[in-house]
């Protein structure tokens, strides 16, 4: 095991693995920093030997993790992880997993923010935190390096949603009854796109006017079972579709299951056709559901439950739509106390 300085001024650590010489960048131009990297690397190797950790490089690890991850998650989630692994390997090279220390991970996140965006960096952080937890459980790492690296904070943005007039204009421009039904149901239930596209008739309880998201056809984001109440508009639309369909899925397009990307792209075409705000997209229907409820005086806590958020703090982005309620609250200070 030795250090060597390359033409770019960076020190590289060379070491033997499985009878082959491998190298890893120390990301350092100063020899003192490179020696510190070497010391940490040797310490990790020692810990691995004592703890009988299994050696694995990025490519091998990504293959193992994605094989475990794929069966219970959506294609979109899988694609997000593939992108993260691709970026990690581009930055570090196909190195041994133990070389991704806390400091190295922090430097990677900083680079992603600088070269891409804070949103991409945050997505990578979340994905890597889950990957490294799995690595710890399976004996590839002693601890998760994400624990000591702060999660990138993204600036809060107000959700974009359809006004009632805009939504009616949109509906008049949708010439596909399947897409129109999907949009109507989305805006009356607040379901996420994959929850809608994988919804089956056996999850609908017509008697109770509710549906159950039970993680059988799609793992919900919170991974918890959720009951969603159905209003009269949603019920009428479901009954109409029930009378005309024979398959197990509630929503299909020409008799076939809809896929996320084509459905999203098709929806955007209708938004453009209606000459509405081009920033509106399919997920805006979920924002619309929440925003309309808040505007009608439904509490943030209740909206949070309906959306299936993990915390009411997530739902707080809609609180600006309650100015009258807040004004009424502070006006109570003017009232005499008993």
Domain limits of the chain? 1-52, 53-155, 164-327
pLDDT, tens only, 116-151: 999 999 999 999 999 999 999 988 888 899 999 999
**pLDDT at residue 84 in the model:** 95
Higher local confidence (pLDDT), 326 or 285: 285
Whether the predicted pLDDT of 39 surpasses 90: no
Which whole number is the average pLDDT over 181-207? 93
Whether the predicted pLDDT of 300 surpasses 90: no
Compute CA 166 distance to the chain's CA centroid, rounded to the nearest angstrom.
28
**pLDDT at residue 45 in the model:** 67
pLDDT, tens only, 222-250: 456 788 999 999 999 999 999 887 789 99
Tell me the C-alpha distance between 308 and 304, whole Å.
6
**pLDDT at residue 105 in the model:** 93
Whether the predicted pLDDT of 51 surpasses 80: no
- 């009411």: which residue's tokens? 312
Other beta carbons within 10 Å of 159? 15
**pLDDT at residue 309 in the model:** 82
**pLDDT at residue 50 in the model:** 57
| Superfamily of domain covering 164-327 | Intergrase catalytic core (1.10.443.10)
Pick the CATH number of 53-155 from 3.40.220.10, 3.90.1150.10, 1.10.150.130, 1.10.760.10: 1.10.150.130
**Distances, alpha carbon 13 to alpha carbons 4, 38, 46, 299, in Å:** 7, 7, 16, 57
Strand order in the sheet with 20-25: 2-5, 11-17, 20-25
Lowest mean pLDDT among 9-13, 93-97, 136-140: 9-13
3 state DSSP class of 14: strand
Which whole number is the average pLDDT over 331-335? 60
Whether the predicted pLDDT of 201 surpasses 90: yes
Pairing of β 2-5 and β 11-17: antiparallel
| Residue 254 DSSP symbol | T
pTM listed for this prediction: 0.64
23, β-bridge pairs: 14
**pLDDT at residue 303 in the model:** 87
E strand segments, the chain: 2-5, 11-17, 20-25, 204-205, 210-213, 226-229, 252-253, 256-257
Angle at 135 between CA 131 and CA 139, to 5 degrees: 175
Which conformational region is residue 255 in: left (phi greater than 0), alpha (psi within -120 to 50 degrees), or beta?
A: left
Q: Show the tokens assigned to 228.
A: 């969603």
Tell me the C-alpha distance between 25 and 203, whole Å.
52
22, β-bridge pairs: 15
What confidence category does residue 281 fall into, taking pLDDT thresholds of 50, 70 and 90? Answer: very high
**pLDDT at residue 239 in the model:** 93
CB of 204 closer than 8 Å to CB of 238:
yes
Write the burial class of residue 192 (CB in 10 Å: 0-12 exposed, 13-18 middle, 19+ buried).
buried
What confidence category does residue 38 fall into, taking pLDDT thresholds of 50, 70 and 90? Answer: confident
Which of 79, 129, 77 is closest to 105 using CA atoms? 129
**pLDDT at residue 7 in the model:** 80
- Top mean-pLDDT range of 41-55, 69-83, 190-204, 303-317: 190-204
Which of 45, 26, 25, 46 is closest to 36 using CA atoms? 26
**pLDDT at residue 95 in the model:** 86
């Amino acid at each position: 095991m030795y250090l060597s300085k390359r033409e770019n001024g960076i020190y590289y650590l060379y070491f033997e693995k499985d009878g082959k010489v491998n190298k890893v960048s120390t990301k350092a131009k100063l020899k003192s920093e490179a020696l510190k990297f070497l010391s940490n690397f040797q310490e990790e190797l020692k810990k691995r030997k004592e703890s009988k950790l299994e050696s694995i490089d990025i490519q091998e690890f990504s293959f193992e993790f994605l094989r475990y991850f794929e069966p219970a998650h959506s294609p979109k989630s899988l694609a997000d992880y593939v992108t993260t692994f691709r970026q990690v390997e581009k930055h570090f090279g196909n190195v041994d997993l133990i070389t991704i220390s806390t400091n190295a991970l922090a430097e990677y996140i900083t680079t992603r923010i600088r070269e891409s965006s804070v949103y991409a960096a945050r997505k990578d952080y979340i994905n890597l935190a889950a990957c490294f937890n799995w690595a710890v459980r399976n004996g590839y790492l002693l601890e998760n390096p994400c624990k000591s690296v702060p999660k990138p904070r993204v600036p809060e943005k107000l959700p974009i949603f359809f006004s009632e007039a805009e939504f009616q204009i949109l509906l008049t421009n949708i010439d596909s009854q399947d897409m129109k039904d999907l949009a109507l149901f989305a805006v009356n239930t607040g379901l996420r796109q994959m929850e809608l596209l994988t919804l089956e008739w056996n999850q609908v309880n017509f008697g109770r006017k509710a549906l159950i998201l039970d993680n059988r056809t799609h793992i919900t984001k919170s991974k918890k079972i959720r009951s969603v109440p159905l209003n009269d508009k949603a019920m009428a639309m479901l009954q109409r579709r029930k009378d005309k369909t024979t398959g197990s899925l509630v929503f299909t397009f020409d008799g076939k299951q809809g896929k996320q990307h084509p459905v999203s792209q098709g929806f955007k075409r209708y938004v453009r056709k209606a000459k509405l705000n081009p920033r509106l997209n399919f997920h805006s229907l979920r924002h619309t559901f929440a925003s309309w409820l808040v505007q009608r005086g439904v509490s943030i806590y209740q909206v949070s439950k309906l959306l299936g958020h993990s915390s009411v703090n997530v739902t707080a982005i809609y609180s600006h739509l309650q100015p009258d309620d807040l004004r009424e609250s502070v006006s109570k200070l003017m009232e005499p106390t008993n």
